[in-house]
């Protein structure tokens, strides 16, 4: 009996968290409260993690209407602030000519400039091999240079003028850019409004996806008046499905009305829109088949 | 969560598809880029005989005005027209469609005229510039003075060809004018041209309505010092009293089949809605209620009639079923709603509402939904009446002083004054197809 008694005590003390006082303090109501509290916390955590969606709300379709800029295949191509590929050539061309003019020292300023204009593609190549091929290069050039020498004054003048104009334009562009940036800083709304491209774009996009591009091109050529329909109810009803096949060059190869709308005027307007879009404004780069669904939903929302 | 999963699945699926087949893209185009159809309308040319520029210009004016009102077209600037505009060419092989396409025209109207004495022959064509085909063509023969009618008729035909429903331009609008000092009944073209006085009652004439069959009008006149209902045959000019019961005989409206007339009679005290036979005998009493019941307007199916009643205190539009005589209230809002007009398509009821002492025109669906205000701004706009195709509304407005007749599209756009200036013009009624 004596041996048996201390046993329970020992086992209890083995527990590091054992506090003799606590056991006494844990009265049934407190336990219940703790359990309740724990349960509630757990419930909140479960709701938070799993997510309670409540009554599901069907999201209304969102239509993006590009009122100012017609969609383009490569929206950044024409942008002064976002076309590094096009902007870079100018500084690059300014550098490569330098090795070349050295042999023909007399004309330092005007010469470097005519070259970028006259021989655009070759200069970038010599850049990496500037040192090994300084001698061979000057040789072919003198052959072509006689011409510039003969026409020294008019061509170089022209080139110089062009270069100056280019510089001026560049400066103006930079000034504009600064002004735009200043405007954007003043008005936070200016930035999204000033963007060119698609609403879901990240600003890093190289171009539009072909679907959006083709959609823009056809939509621009689609003319239809609500007054061609008997009633608004009819306008809500009409819908047609058209298959269009474009080749890499953006040429319409084939089209088929897969499902007509049942309204002659509406279907005719689609045929016309397709016939007006037999050639896309820019090549696609790949053959594309499009299934286009035509309706008047967006038009009716504005009513 | 399921939505996200679905999207991921769809993305994976489309990737699989993209791998197996050539790029197949689905797009949705939910609005046209241009909300009007580009139309080229060169001046009509003489198909034979000398040039009559004044005729060509008048045809051009009528067509342009009608087609503009339709709201369907964007008319191209004639100054940019190329050589084909100056060649007659009335059959598709003779038309240089390339030129018109270059200008962006989808539709081209061309025409020729031939004058022989006072005889006029008009040939008009509507071409599809992209389909390179003739859409419709008409030849009209008549007197030179009928030129406007011919041009209106072709405008109707253009709408028919493009929408399947003829235009209303070659119809008439009756109205009340005080040009002589008395309110008399007049008739004019839909564009306000050729106004003609029809009555000489030298008292008060009001509320005209056209018979849907035959060239005939009914109206109320105080000629004999009581508001009696009259009918008038337009060609013979013959007039007859249709109802001269004690008290009011007002607001007569022909049933769509022309066999009955709904109107208000006050022979029993307050005004109630009755149905008369075309000969004037009472067929049926429709309302039996305290309060005045006026301004009936038939549904195109002839099963219901909208009317105005103050039975609940102030004037509101109600609808009565002709079989059961059950009455339901149509207008739910506004304290003063009057002069309902049921559209010929049956889809809308137009009416005027007074708010802050000023009338404006509204439309509402016959089930009481979709109420829409059509006129805004200063002036009282009231007494709306539909064109026979349901595309337009004629109404009166006192904007700027005197009352004038206006027409607008049924969505409230394109409003224009048509009645001649100088007198008060009101109570328009649009004829059926003329």
- Residues of chain A in contact with residue B391, where contact means CB-CB under 8 angstroms, are 227
Nearest CB to B33; choose among A209, A221, A229? A221
Asked if pLDDT for residue A116 goes beyond 70, the answer is no
* Mean pLDDT value of segment B238-260: 95
Model confidence at A156, in pLDDT bands (50, 70, 90)? low
CA nearest A300 in B: which residue?
B31
Asked if pLDDT for residue A89 goes beyond 80, the answer is no
pLDDT, residue B222, reads 96
pLDDT, residue A111, reads 43
Compute the distance between CA of residue B98 and CA of residue A247 in angstroms, rounded to an integer: 24
Compute the distance between CA of residue B88 and CA of residue A303 in angstroms, rounded to an integer: 41
CATH fold group of domain B172-430: Neuraminidase (2.120.10)
Asked if pLDDT for residue A49 goes beyond 80, the answer is no
Model confidence at A10, in pLDDT bands (50, 70, 90)? very low
- Residues of chain B in contact with residue A264, where contact means CB-CB under 8 angstroms, are 164
Q: Which of A37-41, A48-52, B236-240, B359-363 has the lowest mean pLDDT?
A: A48-52
Q: Is there a contact between B370 and B360 (Cβ–Cβ < 8 Å)?
A: no
- Residues of chain B in contact with residue A298, where contact means CB-CB under 8 angstroms, are 30-31
Q: What is the ipTM of this complex?
A: 0.81
* Mean pLDDT value of segment B92-119: 95
pLDDT in tens, A204-226: 444 667 888 899 999 999 999 99
Q: Which of A58-72, A149-163, B200-214, B359-373 has the lowest mean pLDDT?
A: A58-72
Put simply, the answer to whether B34 touches A214 (Cβ < 8 Å) is no
- Which carries the bigger pLDDT value, residue A172 or residue B292? B292
pLDDT, residue B214, reads 75
Put simply, the answer to whether A226 touches B29 (Cβ < 8 Å) is no
* Mean pLDDT value of segment B385-397: 96
Q: What does the mean pLDDT of chain A come to? A: 67
Q: What does the mean pLDDT of chain B come to? A: 93
pLDDT, residue B151, reads 98
- Which carries the bigger pLDDT value, residue B144 or residue A73? B144
- Which carries the bigger pLDDT value, residue B59 or residue A115? B59
Contacts of A259 (CB under 8 A, 6+ apart): A239, A240, A241
pLDDT, residue B213, reads 83
Asked if pLDDT for residue B18 goes beyond 80, the answer is no
Q: What are phi and psi of B60, to 5 degrees?
A: -60, -45
Q: Is A286 on the interface with B (CB under 8 A)?
A: yes
- Residues of chain B in contact with residue A214, where contact means CB-CB under 8 angstroms, are 25, 27
CATH fold group of domain A210-301: 3.30.1150
* A 59-98 → B contacts, CB under 8 A: 63, 65
Put simply, the answer to whether A223 touches B36 (Cβ < 8 Å) is yes
Nearest CB to B33; choose among A212, A220, A293? A220
Put simply, the answer to whether A230 touches B411 (Cβ < 8 Å) is no
Test mutation, B25, B72, B163, chain A, max A CBs within 10 A: B25
Q: Is there a contact between A245 and A254 (Cβ–Cβ < 8 Å)?
A: yes
pLDDT, residue A164, reads 77
Chain A to chain B Cβ contacts (< 8 Å) = 126
- Residues of chain B in contact with residue A222, where contact means CB-CB under 8 angstroms, are 29, 32-34
pLDDT, residue B395, reads 97
- Residues of chain A in contact with residue B164, where contact means CB-CB under 8 angstroms, are 230, 264-265
Test mutation, B27, B164, B345, chain A, max A CBs within 10 A: B27
pLDDT, residue A140, reads 43
Residue ranges, comma separated, of all CATH 3.40.50.10070 domains in chain B are 37-163
Reference B63, options B142, B125, B129; nearest CA is: B125
Strands (E), A5-147: none
Paired residues of A292 in beta bridges: A242, B27
Nearest CB to B33; choose among A219, A295, A297? A219
Asked if pLDDT for residue B312 goes beyond 50, the answer is yes
Sheet holding B239-243, edge to edge: B205-210, B216-221, B228-233, B239-243
Nearest CB to B35; choose among A51, A225, A271? A225
Q: Is there a contact between B78 and B41 (Cβ–Cβ < 8 Å)?
A: yes
CA nearest A62 in B: which residue?
B30
CA-only gyration radius of chain A, Å: 37
Q: Can you give the residue ranges of every domain in chain A?
A: 6-50, 84-186, 210-301
CA-only gyration radius of chain B, Å: 26
Scan for tokens 């599809």, then name that residue.
B128
Model confidence at B302, in pLDDT bands (50, 70, 90)? very high
CA nearest A276 in B: which residue?
B130
The CA dihedral of A249, A254, A259, A260, to the nearest 10 degrees, is 100
* Mean pLDDT value of segment B162-180: 95
Closest CA of chain B from A228, distance in Å: 5
Put simply, the answer to whether B30 touches A298 (Cβ < 8 Å) is yes
CATH number assigned to the domain covering B37-163:
3.40.50.10070
pLDDT in tens, B321-350: 999 999 999 998 999 999 999 999 999 999
Characterise B91 by phi-psi region: left (phi > 0), alpha (psi -120 to 50), beta (else).
Answer: beta
Reference B112, options B43, B178, B199; nearest CA is: B43
Q: Which of A226-240, A259-273, B101-115 has the lowest mean pLDDT?
A: A226-240
Put simply, the answer to whether A223 touches B106 (Cβ < 8 Å) is yes
pLDDT, residue B272, reads 95
Asked if pLDDT for residue B252 goes beyond 60, the answer is yes
- Residues of chain A in contact with residue B26, where contact means CB-CB under 8 angstroms, are 211, 290-293
Asked if pLDDT for residue A129 goes beyond 80, the answer is no
Model confidence at A130, in pLDDT bands (50, 70, 90)? very low
Residue A284: both structure tokens together: 């696609």
Residue B144 neighbours by CB distance under 10 Å: 16
pLDDT, residue A76, reads 52
Compute the distance between CA of residue A226 and CA of residue A67 in angstroms, rounded to an integer: 20
pLDDT, residue B310, reads 94
Asked if pLDDT for residue B117 goes beyond 70, the answer is yes
Closest CA of chain B from A13, distance in Å: 49
pLDDT in tens, A274-302: 989 999 988 888 899 999 999 999 988 86
CA end-to-end span of chain A: 95
- Residues of chain B in contact with residue A294, where contact means CB-CB under 8 angstroms, are 29-30
Q: Is there a contact between B135 and B129 (Cβ–Cβ < 8 Å)?
A: no
Asked if pLDDT for residue A201 goes beyond 70, the answer is no
Model confidence at A26, in pLDDT bands (50, 70, 90)? low
Reference B209, options B368, B428, B433, B434; nearest CA is: B428
pLDDT in tens, B137-163: 999 999 999 999 999 999 999 999 999
Q: How far is CA B330 from the centre of its chain?
A: 23
Q: Is B67 helix (H, G, I), strand (E, B) or coil?
A: helix
pLDDT, residue A19, reads 52
CA nearest A213 in B: which residue?
B27
Characterise A293 by phi-psi region: left (phi > 0), alpha (psi -120 to 50), beta (else).
Answer: beta
């Amino acid at each position: 009996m004596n041996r048996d008694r201390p046993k329970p005590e020992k086992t209890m003390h083995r527990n590091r968290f054992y506090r003799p006082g606590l056991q006494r303090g844990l009265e049934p109501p407190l336990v219940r409260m703790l359990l309740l509290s724990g349960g509630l916390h757990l419930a909140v955590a479960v709701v938070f993690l799993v997510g309670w969606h409540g009554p599901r709300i069907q999201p209304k379709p969102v239509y993006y209407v590009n009122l100012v800029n017609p969609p383009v295949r490569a929206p950044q191509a024409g942008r002064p602030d976002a076309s590094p590929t096009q902007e870079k050539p100018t500084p690059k061309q300014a550098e490569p000519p330098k090795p070349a003019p050295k042999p023909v020292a007399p004309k330092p300023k005007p010469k470097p400039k005519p070259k970028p204009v006259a021989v655009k593609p070759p200069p970038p190549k010599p850049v990496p091999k500037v040192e090994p091929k300084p001698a061979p290069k000057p040789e072919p050039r003198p052959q072509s240079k006689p011409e510039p020498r003969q026409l020294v004054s008019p061509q170089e003048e022209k080139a110089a003028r062009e270069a100056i104009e280019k510089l001026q334009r560049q400066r103006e562009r930079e000034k504009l850019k600064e002004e735009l940036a200043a405007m954007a800083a003043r008005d936070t709304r200016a930035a999204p409004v000033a963007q060119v491209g698609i609403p879901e774009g990240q600003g890093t996009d190289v171009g539009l996806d072909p679907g959006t591009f083709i959609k823009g091109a056809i939509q621009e050529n689609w003319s239809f008046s609500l007054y061609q329909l008997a009633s608004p109810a009819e306008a809500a009803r009409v819908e047609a499905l058209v298959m269009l096949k474009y080749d890499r060059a953006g040429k319409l190869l084939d089209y088929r009305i897969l499902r007509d709308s049942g309204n002659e005027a509406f279907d005719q307007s689609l045929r016309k829109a397709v016939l007006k879009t037999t050639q896309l404004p820019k090549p696609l780069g790949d053959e594309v088949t499009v299934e286009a669904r035509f309706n008047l939903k967006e038009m009716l929302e504005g009513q | 969560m399921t939505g996200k999963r679905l999207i991921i699945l769809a993305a994976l699926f489309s990737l699989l598809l993209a791998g197996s087949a050539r790029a197949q893209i689905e797009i949705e185009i939910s609005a046209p880029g241009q909300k009007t159809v580009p139309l080229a309308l060169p001046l009509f040319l003489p198909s034979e005989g000398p040039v009559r520029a004044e005729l060509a210009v008048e045809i051009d004016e009528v067509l342009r005005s009608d087609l503009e009102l339709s709201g369907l077209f964007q008319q191209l600037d004639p100054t940019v027209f190329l050589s084909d505009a100056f060649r007659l060419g009335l059959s598709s092989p003779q038309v240089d469609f390339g030129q018109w396409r270059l200008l962006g025209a989808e539709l081209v109207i061309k025409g020729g005229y031939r004058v022989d004495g006072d005889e006029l022959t008009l040939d008009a064509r509507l071409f599809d510039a992209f389909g390179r085909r003739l859409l419709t063509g008409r030849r009209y023969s008549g007197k030179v003075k009928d030129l406007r009618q011919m041009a209106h008729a072709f405008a109707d035909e253009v709408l028919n060809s493009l929408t399947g429903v003829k235009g209303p331009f070659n119809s008439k609008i009756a109205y009340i004018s005080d040009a002589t000092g008395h309110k008399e009944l007049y008739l004019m073209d839909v564009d306000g041209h050729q106004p003609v006085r029809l009555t000489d009652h030298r008292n008060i004439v009001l509320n005209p309505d056209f018979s849907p069959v035959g060239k005939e009008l009914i109206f109320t006149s105080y000629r004999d010092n009581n508001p009696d209902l009259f009918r008038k045959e337009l060609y013979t000019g013959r007039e007859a009293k249709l109802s001269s019961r004690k008290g009011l005989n007002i607001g007569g409206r022909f049933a769509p089949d022309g066999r009955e007339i709904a109107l208000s009679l006050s022979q029993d005290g307050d005004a109630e809605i009755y149905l008369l036979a075309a000969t004037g005998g009472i067929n049926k009493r429709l309302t039996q209620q305290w309060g005045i019941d006026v301004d009936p307007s038939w549904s195109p199916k002839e099963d219901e009639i909208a009317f105005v009643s103050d039975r609940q205190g102030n004037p509101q539009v109600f609808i009565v079923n002709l079989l059961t005589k059950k009455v339901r209230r149509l207008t739910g809002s506004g304290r003063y709603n009057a002069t309902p007009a049921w559209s010929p398509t049956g889809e809308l009821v137009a009416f005027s509402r007074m708010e802050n002492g000023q009338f404006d025109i509204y439309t509402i669906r016959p089930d009481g939904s979709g109420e829409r205000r059509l006129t805004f701004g200063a002036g009282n706009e009231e007494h709306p009446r539909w064109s026979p195709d349901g595309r337009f509304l004629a109404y009166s407005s006192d904007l700027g002083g005197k009352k004038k007749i206006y027409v607008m599209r049924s969505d409230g756009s394109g409003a224009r004054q048509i009645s001649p200036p100088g007198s008060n013009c009101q109570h328009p009624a649009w004829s059926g197809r003329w």
